[in-house]
Amino acid sequence: MCGIVGYVGTQKAASILIEGLKRLEYRGYDSAGVAIQQEGRIDVAKKAGRVEVLAKEVARRHFSGTAGISHTRWATHGGVTDANAHPHLSSDGKIAIVHNGVIENYLSIKKFLLGKGYAFVSETDTEVLGNLIAYHYAKETDTKPGSRLLESVRKTLRHVEGTYGIAAICIDSPSEIVAARKGSPLLLGVGEGEHILASDAAALVSRTRNVVYLKDGELVQITPDSFSISTVDSLEVSPVIDQITWSIKDAELSGYAHFMEKEIFEQPAALENAMRGRFSEDGSTANFGGLNLSATDFRQIDRLVFASCGTGWHACLVAEHLIERFARVPVEVDYASEFRYRNAPLDRDALFFVISQSGETIDTLAALREAQRKGYKALAICNVVGSTIARESDGGIYQHAGPEIGVASTKAFTSQLLISAMLALYLARLRDMSYSDGVTYVQGLKAAPDLVRRVLDQAPRIKEIAQRYAQCSDFLFLGRLSLFPIALEGALKLKEISYIHAEGYPAAEMKHGPIALISERCPSVFFVPQGELFNKIVSSMQEIKARKGKIIAIVTEGSDLPAGLADETIWIPDCHEAVLPIVATVPVQLLSYYIAVARKCDVDKPRNLAKSVTVE
């Protein structure tokens, strides 16, 4: 969602801030701005629209200051206007602030500040924060030099209800930034003679790989040569400096037209990374180092509960199918956004799992905390080391998929599917899966990267199919068992990046309502794997064909599909049942991508969407 970049050092801040904002464009935003400290004043430039528009304005004004803050905004309070863009200046001109999150009690604070003579020029909750900091700053006359802004921010946050990641500068402190977080990610990049703040590592990895991940309730005060961390309650914190393991090249296009395209083709490597070092020496089961539960603990579990949002929720549905199918353990899947509000009864020996690529999804984090609050162990499948969910979970599994820049998840999703399949294997081998079946299962998993490469080799043909259907206004995606979640994911991908209405259904449910949509302008994408349900799926396809519906069939190689039944056929390799959802996902990713390109959509920055949803 919204992005923050701050810089204090010896170089001109403006170009560093703009570069950082450009690297955060994938998060989703509608306006951008910078505030620079220079010559005894704070200069602000902000524009609705893309960072490119802001960059031209910044270049025109020749900012020379060496400290500043910047922001990309995804509108919550107030429309998409220059006035509502961040940074916001306090009405006395002393404080500039950027903010991610939502201040829930901003109206009562605003009423108080209006009574004190403070003025407002925007519709945002963020401007309220800036004026409240200014209010406390004006009263901090007895504070020792160097801590006046810090203490003003600290006192402000004690009055705030909601979530925030903020960075503030003051006209009286030309080489100082104070930042804080609660429920919205923020990290500090530690450099030589400079420090950088960012809401995402992508914005600072080009300058340093040494980072400190701020925790909820922490504030950081930075200057070019130093930083200190404390809590809202004035307790000092000893920082832990971590290292980012990936390089800036991993977050660049490297010759691809879009990040989504790049990340689709990175999936074989991402799958290999997810498996590396995670199989037993005898090749019959999976091993995970970070679950923090023993085999005995896992044998005591009588139910698993999975929670996530969006694409991650689809991964949970696949996990449900595979774990119940192979490990014979009951699984429930919940929307993370609903879990904490519906007070669902859980079995005493249940284990809670969340799935989040970013590790910062606010709804998923809230679900994890609710499970822990009720006394349950809560584990996570996560891609981002140092993220809030990774830190707060009781254990978990890192995906090691590398940075995912495209808003529409691709390699992170198939990585989640693979880890879910490995988890199903691990649990199954603790119960009644035989050694020989375990070996067969592992061999199937190890084949996944090469199987995906074979599907990717069909990209030119899938592109041709996409161009023939790019102007359709509706799609149906239909699958059964473990491929029903892939039908949901295929529909979501198409909606996200091409703005075509699409629905995913179990194939057998098609005749219970969705068949009313069938026409020559509403194609149906069928998953048709070889197996016991093959003939039943073919029967559903024939019902579509009888009503003149177009069919795109994703079919296992070697299947005896009736001639002429499908208008388009995409073949996928025959594979182990646990790998099938991964292999079947790739064609619909490519189909959605090429349809969006044909429609000239902004694939990496689809309208209204954000990569990581950090507000409720």
Q: How many residues does the chain have?
A: 616
Instruction: Indicate the residue type of 38.
Output: Q
Q: Which helix (H) or strand (E) holds 90?
A: none
Instruction: Indicate the residue type of 444.
Output: G
- Residues 178 and 130 sit within 8 Å (Cβ to Cβ): no
- Residues 368 and 378 sit within 8 Å (Cβ to Cβ): yes
**Which residues, other chains included, contact 12 with Cβ-Cβ below 8 Å and sequence gap of 6+?**
63, 64, 65, 66
Please identify which residue in the block is written with the tokens 């003579």: 117
CA gap 438, 476 in Å, rounded: 36
Tell me the catalytic residues. 2, 611
- Residues 314 and 488 sit within 8 Å (Cβ to Cβ): yes
Closest C-alpha to 504, from 523, 481, 482, 479: 479
- For residue 465, the SS3 value is helix
**224-233: which pairs have CB atoms within 8 A and are 24 or more residues apart?**
224/8, 224/9, 224/10, 224/66, 224/175, 224/193, 224/194, 224/195, 225/193, 227/188, 227/190, 227/195, 230/150, 230/154, 232/154, 232/157, 232/158, 232/180
- Residues 297 and 307 sit within 8 Å (Cβ to Cβ): no
Q: Where are the alpha helices (DSSP H) in 448-503?
A: 448-456, 459-469, 484-498
Cα Rg of the chain, angstroms:
26
What crossing angle do the helices spanning 435-446 and 448-456 adopt, rounded to 10°? 30
φ, ψ at 411 (rounded to 5°): -65, -30
DSSP states along 315-373: HHHHHHHHIIIII---EEEEEHHHHHHHT----TTEEEEEEESSS--HHHHHHHHHHHH
Q: Number of C-alpha atoms within 13 angstroms, CB side, residue 438?
A: 23
Closest C-alpha to 191, from 180, 205, 176: 205
Q: What is the largest CA-CA distance in the chain?
A: 85
CA gap 317, 486 in Å, rounded: 9
- What are the E-state strand segments in 491-530? 501-506, 524-528
- Residues 391 and 215 sit within 8 Å (Cβ to Cβ): yes
